[in-house]
Amino acid sequence: MAYQAKSALEVQLDVLGALILRDIRTRFGGTMWGYSIAVLWPCAHVLVITAIYAIMRKPTPIGDSIVLFAVSGLSPYIILNYMSRKMMEGPLQNKQLIYFPQVKFFDVVMSRAIVEVCTSSLSIFLVFFIAACCGANIVPHDAYPFCEGMLLALCFAMGAGFLNVFISQVMPQWLMLVIAPILILYFTSGTVIVVEAMPAVVYDYVQWNPLMHIVKVCRSAFYPGYGMDADVMFVLIVSGAMALIGLLGIRFVVPRFLN
């Protein structure tokens, strides 16, 4: 049988698959236990918030289940936090692979993005499973807003990830500095407290936080009537702008720093 050369697309898919497997094995020790730590770690956010409200005896801001309140708000943040940062770390940790002719810089970025999508999905599933075991009613009144919120979180995290990759290649210190804007997004998004409880002056500025709108969309699936003022188009515009800037930077600017 004559040997048939693989197409360029098949070669790129093989490279992408190999990078994904290598990423999982090197980052998590190649064992189920190593990967389980990455999946279980986001659950600590829910446990900490639940414990704080229980110790301080604070009433649940919305509804009657603090677990459901925490889970519905933290799910978008889990996607944003881990995906946007880990996408940035991928090229920095696997820079030597780019010198192979078959491996492109963008392949390394996308392989890390795919791994983080799978890891975040498993983490969110596990978070909701634990919430159900704690007695919370995790069945949404309307599944569409929850799916919409997760897709918006994915778009926002992907756009932030591309932008972070670009900035970190130009300025490696961004790997640590990025923690500050992520924390600002976190504390002004309504994951811990509802933004409506903030002073009017602060709330006007919080409206510029895309994560806040995503959290509102996600929570509207569990709390009917909540989050009607969430601006989905604003989230898509910001996500697209960040992705465009990041991709253009990766295409035209980053190669100058790699050579």
Q: At what angle do helices 143-170 and 210-219 cross, to 10 degrees?
A: 160
User: pLDDT > 70: what percent of the chain?
Assistant: 95
Compute the average pLDDT of residues 64-93. Answer: 88
Residue 32, pLDDT above cutoff 80: no
Residue 259, pLDDT above cutoff 80: no
Q: Which pLDDT does position 28 carry in this prediction?
A: 67
More confident residue, 245 or 70: 245
More confident residue, 28 or 253: 253
Cβ atoms of 62 and 225 closer than 8 Å: no
89 backbone φψ class: left, alpha, beta (φ>0; ψ -120 to 50): alpha
- Lowest-confidence segment of 60-74, 143-157, 200-214 by average pLDDT: 60-74
Q: Which pLDDT does position 1 carry in this prediction?
A: 44
Q: Which pLDDT does position 29 carry in this prediction?
A: 66
Residue 54, pLDDT above cutoff 80: no
- What is the spatial distance between Cα 62 and Cα 69, in angstroms, rounded to a whole number? 7
User: pLDDT > 90: what percent of the chain?
Assistant: 43
Compute the average pLDDT of residues 143-151. Answer: 94
